[in-house]
Chain A
Amino acid sequence: MTAVTTATAPAASARLRRTTLRGLPVVPSVVLLLLFLAGPIAYCIYIAFTDMQLTGASGTHFVGLANFRHAFADPGFRNAVVLTLVFTFLSSIVGQNTLGLGLATVMRRASRPVRTLTGSVVIAAWVVPEIVAGFLLYTFFRQEGSLDAILGWLRLPRENWLYTLPILAVSLANVWRGTAFSMLVYSAALGEIPQDVTEQAEVDGASGWQRMWHVTLPMIRRSIGTNLMLNTLQTLSVFGLLWVMTRGGPGNRSQTLPLFMYEKAFQDSLIGYGTAVALLLLVVGAFFSVIYLRLMRAEV
């Protein structure tokens, strides 16, 4: 101890060297993250305030908040915001989350073969690559597709879903694709609840709903929080599924923010404007990430 205090400077430099040496293995990851993640984010913030165009005819100028003012006055942008909210609410918060929790709960009471079968099918829908899922659900919802055949067979009114209610069709598609994740999260969470707690509640005559509301839900509230955040973040950035199913159409009736951003940047060649929209999306995503971080803070 005295040696350390008498020779502070060499000890400090030795400690610094040791820390540097020990930290060396982190360097490749840090370089990659700086170059390909932090770099683009910084570049995103820069371009969002310029009038950069893909054609590059007139050079790039700093335009201040013009892109954002343009966005808020643009009916196309407002349409995309509303559709993104509807898509996220329907497919992530109502669909994936509730169905996932429902499946996980019901599975605990079901017989083993049925549980395994259902679990496998739902997970298969999750594992299938996004583009394949897009094609599958496109054929399912198309006017000549499987859903139409089923509705006809059940003598129910038939509808061209991708035309009349495209946002509902793509939301259901996202539910199909994403429910497995919630189901897995909730299965893990429910598995951690001590069995005697729920059994005791059952013996004491609490109905299924009462047990769910007063015992189960309070005990898994942290999982509900993380799951909602992760679902929302994933749903905010869905592109391929929508692109294959509707391309944002017909017109722009299923054009969520990622598709709007893509159209502005590449089809209309307005990189600056498209990036401003991207930045808004990134800010919303970062906001949800921070909430997620607060929920997870105990585990770091």
Chain B
Amino acid sequence: MTATNLPFAKAAGTAPRPTASRSAKLRTRRLRTRLAADTALLVVAVCFALPLLWLLLSSFNGHATMRTQLPHPFTLGNFAAILNAGTTFTPMLNSLVLCGGATAVTVVAAALAAYPLSRYRSRLNRPFMLTILFSTSLPITAIMVPVYGLFVQVNLIDTMWGTMLFLATTQLPIAIWLMKNFMDGVPITLEEAAWTDGASSMQALRKVVLPLMGPGVMVVTIFTFIACWGNFFVPFMLLISPDQLPASVSLYTFFGSYGTVAYGQLAAFSMLYTTPVIVLYVLISRKLGGGFALGGALKG
């Protein structure tokens, strides 16, 4: 079939209604398609689930190996062994401080920046937004070597707040982009009322706009936090002291550097480290309607 004789594309709307027997045939064909589709999806699901299943099963397994197998013996010992300050609590707390701080900086800066971009017309808006969009897709990995050099020069290396500000900046472009798009969805009339009542633009932002775009702010916040929580390379490069390392790096240094790995404990730690982001993701996907909207939100 060539592009020139496309009956279904040209005759759209003018084709006769399908007859009863044809629609019955169509229905059985759909049923067969559904069965094939279900089978294909289940095969893919099993492939994707296997590594995750290893994580779940091994964390409760007293003799965990690299294979996916039922816990034998079933135990909570792996969790008990790692629930101490050095292994779990300090890195988790560091992660929380690092990512919480970075998220706070990103969200506040992004909300402030999004306001004039969304509300006032200026010749600078378009170039600014294009630059932002450009920076959302720059490979941050590539600038980590110079960032390391720069941090050594200005004595920010191995400082929590320096790493936090850098982490915040890496997330800032996408946060500004998302925040501006959410803010564009809030009608301007309510603010105009606030302005006539004598509110400053910052008051209008805080009291009118942000509360109205609550779900949007929440999505940006959680999205930023998830990205920071999972980030390995930035803290791996910029933090050195073992007592400052977040969970992503301590997971690697603790389990990656020993000859014989305690797989059960590795799995248990990974479970504790992964659970918060799964929970947060479920939260935003609810907000966005089943999670399938996030892809749409990300591409604008």
Contacts and interface: CB of A to CB of B under 8 A. Distances in A.
Interface stretch (A4-12, A67-75, A89-97, A194-202): A194-202
B258 interface: no
B55 A136 contact: yes
A130 B66 contact: no
Contacts of A212: none
Interface residues of A, number: 115
Given A123-B281, A275-B146, A286-B138, A33 B169 contact: yes
A129 B252 contact: no
Contacts of B172: 29, 32-33
Contact of A136 (B52, B122, B169, B170): B52
Contact of B41 (A110, A262, A281): A110
A300 B133 contact: yes
B165 to A, nearest CB: 6
Interface in B92-145: 105, 108-110, 112-113, 115-117, 120, 122, 124, 126, 128-130, 133-135, 137-145
A132 to B, nearest CB: 4
Given A26-B112, A121-B49, A204-B8, A36 B44 contact: no
B251 interface: yes
B142 A258 contact: yes
Nearest to A34: B169
A36 B255 contact: no
B139 A146 contact: no
Contacts of A63: none
Contacts of B135: 33, 37
A22 B201 CA distance: 8
Given A144-B66, A240-B233, A40 B150 contact: yes
A290 B134 contact: yes
B49 A129 contact: no
Contact of A149 (B7, B68, B124): B68
Interface in B65-86: 65-68
Contacts of B266: 135
B113 A26 contact: yes
Nearest to A233: B137
Contacts, number: 320
B292 A118 contact: no
B66 A214 contact: no
A223 interface: yes
Contacts of A25: 112-113, 115-116, 202, 205
Most central of A19, A25, A286 by chain B CB within 10 Å: A25
Nearest to B127: A300
B116 A22 contact: yes
A279 B145 CA distance: 10
Interface residues of B, number: 107
A188 B292 contact: yes
A265 interface: yes
Given A25-B116, A289-B138, A300-B126, A203 B8 contact: yes
A184 B288 CA distance: 12
A185 interface: yes
B20 interface: no
A281 B150 CA distance: 19
B187 interface: no
B33 interface: yes
A196 B41 CA distance: 25
Nearest to B30: A109
Given A139-B54, A204-B8, A114 B41 contact: yes
Contacts of B6: 214
Contacts of A119: 291-292
A253 interface: no
Contacts of B133: 292-293, 296, 300
Contacts of A29: 109-110, 112-113, 172, 176
A117 B45 contact: yes
B13 interface: yes
Interface string A18-58: 01001111101110110111011101100100001000000
A144 B54 CA distance: 13
B195 to A, nearest CB: 13
Interface string A261-280: 11001000001001100110
A161 interface: no
A296 B300 contact: yes
B64 to A, nearest CB: 9
Contact of B145 (A122, A150, A275): A275
29 contacts: A25-B112, A26-B116, A29-B112, A33-B172, A36-B147, A36-B166, A39-B150, A40-B143, A115-B41, A128-B274, A129-B273, A135-B251, A176-B48, A184-B296, A188-B296, A197-B12, A200-B8, A214-B1, A214-B9, A215-B8, A215-B9, A226-B299, A236-B139, A237-B142, A239-B141, A239-B232, A243-B232, A282-B139, A289-B134
Top 8 nearest A-B pairs (CB, nearest first) are: A184-B295, A204-B8, A237-B139, A129-B230, A237-B141, A36-B169, A188-B296, A240-B232
